[in-house]
A = this chain, B = another copy of it.
Amino acid sequence: MAKDFVVGIDIGGQSSKLGVVDARGLVLAQSVIKANPSTDANVIIRELAQAVTGLVADAGKQGEIRGIGVGAPNGNYYTGSIAFAPNLPWAAHGSVDFARILSDECGGIPVALTNDANAAAVGEMTYGVAKGMKDFIMITLGTGVGSGIVINGQVVYGSDGFAGELGHTCAVRHNGRLCGCGKYGCLEAYCSAVGVARTARDWLDMNPDEPSVLREVPAITSKDVYQAAKEGDALALRVFDYTGRILGEKLADFVEFSAPEAIVLFGGLARAREFLYEPTLKAMNENVLPLWRGKVKLLFSQLKESDAAILGASALAWEL
């Protein structure tokens, strides 16, 4: 029987999404499984395999699956393992031989694994605004800041499979904020959803006399800051200006590295496009060499976040 379909899986800390996808990127069937709190990787992977088998049956495509592509935090393309992923209790404290076990549990269907940001980049290249581009950088602005780098039409995995940790390049060298990774001044500490909320809280403290609707909010999130900015709140608007400027300054460094055709922003925080676009583009252009000024596109993903992750992961499976 021809194997004309693939499965894409996006593994997250809160839930995992999976879909059966055809060669044109149509999602024939999809489902979501809530995160299981078990710390036993075998339990988790068996549950996932059962979900895959069920979904393939629902789609009527038994025996027609060419491969399974998976995007997961800290997923390593070369080794097929997930190691020290803080948000996955079953993979937080060691290395899990994920791809091999899942393949075994799914009757030998081959499995390709990469991290979630790389999977999103593949999705964007295959089905999104980066379609047809050979050189672009995907920056995922979510709880953290991730990245997927495409050079010459291929995702950059580096010597060890872990390339593309642009969220942990240094944005603020001295007196930089402590990042979750233990370093100071990482881009992620400023330009993630968590970073935006932190900037807002810091600035409310530092400017006690400035009125802001955010003063009434008990535990400020980036969504609150976005909502406040939409209402014209001056402090919230400044928070996005600042966030965009820090992001744009670092994007300039990335342009000087790989001279991409475009930078694509993706993820929850990228929904604040109306407030982020201008300061980010301006700072990027001010900080690149003249030869790139005004030439590198700053794009925002148009794909639905859940689709992009499933599609991106599934696209990996066509190469199996």
Q: Does A318 contact B (CB under 8 A)?
A: no
Asked if B164 and A257 make an inter-chain contact with CB atoms under 8 angstroms apart, the answer reads: yes
| Chain B: minimal CB distance from A295 (Å) | 8
Size class of the A contact interface (CB-based, 8 Å): 35 or more
Residues of chain B lying within 8 A (CB to CB) of residue A182: 290
**A134 CB, min distance to chain B CBs, angstroms:** 7
Report which of B152, B160, B169, B261 forms a contact with A253, defined as CB distance below 8 A: B169
Minimal Cβ-Cβ distance residue in B for A74: B291
Min C-beta distance of A94 to chain B, whole Å: 14
- Cα-based distance from A46 to B181 in the complex (angstroms): 57
Instruction: From B151, B181, B249, B291, give the contact of A173 (CB < 8 A).
Output: B249
Q: Given the complex of chains A and B, what is the CA–CA distance between A184 and B128 in angstroms?
A: 36
Complex Cα spacing A289 to B115, Å: 16
Contact A165 B289, beta carbon cutoff 8 Å: yes
A303–B174 CA distance with the chains assembled, in angstroms: 37
**In the complex with contacts A173-B173, A252-B170, A253-B253, A159-B289 CB distance below 8 A:** no
Query: Which residue from B158, B162, B289 sits with its C-beta under 8 Å from A151?
Result: B158
Chain A interface secondary structure, helix, strand, loop or mixed? loop
Cα separation A172 to B185 with both chains bound (whole Å): 13
Chain B residue at minimal CB-CB distance from A136: B159
Q: Contact at B152–A154, with CB atoms within 8 Å? A: yes
CB contact between A287 and one of B135, B154, B170 (< 8 Å): that residue:
B170
In the complex with contacts A165-B289, A183-B287, A259-B160 CB distance below 8 A = yes
15 residue pairs from A and B, CB less than 8 Å apart: A151-B156, A151-B158, A152-B154, A156-B258, A159-B260, A162-B259, A163-B258, A163-B259, A164-B259, A166-B256, A169-B257, A170-B249, A170-B253, A170-B287, A172-B173
